[in-house]
Structure 1
Amino acid sequence: MFFREIDEDLTLQLMELEDAEELFNLTDSGRTYLREWLPWVDSTTTVDDSRGFIEHTMRGFKEKKSMTLAIRFKGKLVGTASFNNLDWSNKVAYIGYWLGQDYQGNGIMTRVVRELTDYAITDLNFNRIDIRAAYENTKSRSIPERLGFVKEGQIRQAEWLYDHYVDHVVYGMLASEWGN
């Protein structure tokens, strides 16, 4: 079981089936907000959909391919952060994240991504952390920028969001650059 206490208000822990209803409620209450940048929102229509997502993340963790964590702020589930892919051969971890609208602006995601980056480099001995965000998603892009990730480029039409493509900006952090 993975559990990390970042500070007295903020923890990360592996998603569990018991989180399904809380995760669904967070998704459902912020559906319009989340839909702007997340392609899976429309297909998450029931608690069972969230349960299926959690089961998928549990398999990924067991197979050491990924790790999806519940972000808890003052005990409440407020979003998720993940190593969407753990490339053990090349020692690259790909981070993804989202946060409920009501929890923005508290520095939560910056602290979470700092913790995940440190964990991947220090504990897993990975060489590179990769974060990709839609070009126009300035809130998401501000996280790696704030943490000193290098903007490495832009991938044109990298993701289909409901009715249009969006470009992605790629950010990277190397172990040799990580000063924490």
Structure 2
Amino acid sequence: MNPILLNVPPQIETERLILRAPLQSGDGSIVNAAIKDSFNELKAWLPFAQNIPAVEETEMNLREAHIKFLKRESFRFLIFHKNTNDFIGTASLQGINWDIPKCEIGYWIHTKFGGNGYMIEAVKELTNFGLNQIQFKRIEIRCESANIKSRSIPEKLGFELEGILKNEDLSADGRKLTNTCIYAIT
């Protein structure tokens, strides 16, 4: 089947969260504010967070993500709390290879919502969705070996640590070589 024909809902719900595609005008200002609030933590791990983007840059990035969603190239979801509508973070099915089929899950959380299990809940739901609805045969989570918080998510969700690739990537700031953990579930 051609992936463009897949019915992928623009919104997925969990017990406490709503995961929705970035399709509403103005999402950029909400996400940008979270990037600013979480900048010091995000900067250590994510190349996109080396400088605080302008609101317009964040809005453009989200609109491009929506286009990729429609083209079935990746599926980025914005995470909101069901009861308060607070923006929690993002989680994506990305790096899709439809021939296998497989993908990678990427995520980041607004610092003030960390430690509440929200990202575990969101990633668990995306994993279930990817395996059961889209029928991915493999889902990976890759992260820097020193990023203990990020590593805890696949570990708690039963992903297998398949290996640690030495000197495989550059740090978020591009200044040193880092080791990459590869977790997977099939």
Q: TM-score, normalised by structure 1?
A: 0.91
Aligned match for 1:115, one of 115, 125, 145: 125
Change (3 A) 1:63 1:43: farther
Deviating above 4 A after TM superposition, structure 1's stretches of 4 or more consecutive aligned residues are: none
Letter in 2 for 1:63: K
Aligned match for 1:11, one of 13, 18, 26: 18
Does the alignment pair 1:166 with 2:140?
Answer: no
Q: Following the alignment from structure 1 to structure 2, what is the Cα–Cα distance between the partners of residues 152 and 85?
A: 18
Aligned match for 1:85, one of 71, 79, 95: 95
Q: CA deviation at 1:157?
A: 2.7
Change (3 A) 1:43 1:62: farther
Aligned match for 1:22, one of 25, 30, 47: 30
Report the equivalent of 1:178: none
What stretches of structure 2 of length at least 5 have no aligned partner?
1-8
Q: Following the alignment from structure 1 to structure 2, what is the Cα–Cα distance between the partners of residues 45 and 92?
A: 31
Report the equivalent of 1:130: 140
Does the alignment pair 1:148 with 2:150?
Answer: no
Aligned match for 2:10, one of 2, 5, 22: 2
Greater displacement, 113-122 / 42-51: 42-51
Identity %: 28
Q: CA deviation at 1:26?
A: 0.4
Q: TM-score, normalised by structure 2?
A: 0.88
Q: CA deviation at 1:133?
A: 0.9
- Deviations 1:115-155 (Å, cap 9, x if unpaired)? 00100111001111110011000110011000111100112
Q: Following the alignment from structure 1 to structure 2, what is the Cα–Cα distance between the partners of residues 155 and 49?
A: 32
Q: Following the alignment from structure 2 to structure 1, what is the Cα–Cα distance between the partners of residues 180 and 80?
A: 27
State the SS of the aligned residue for 1:40: helix
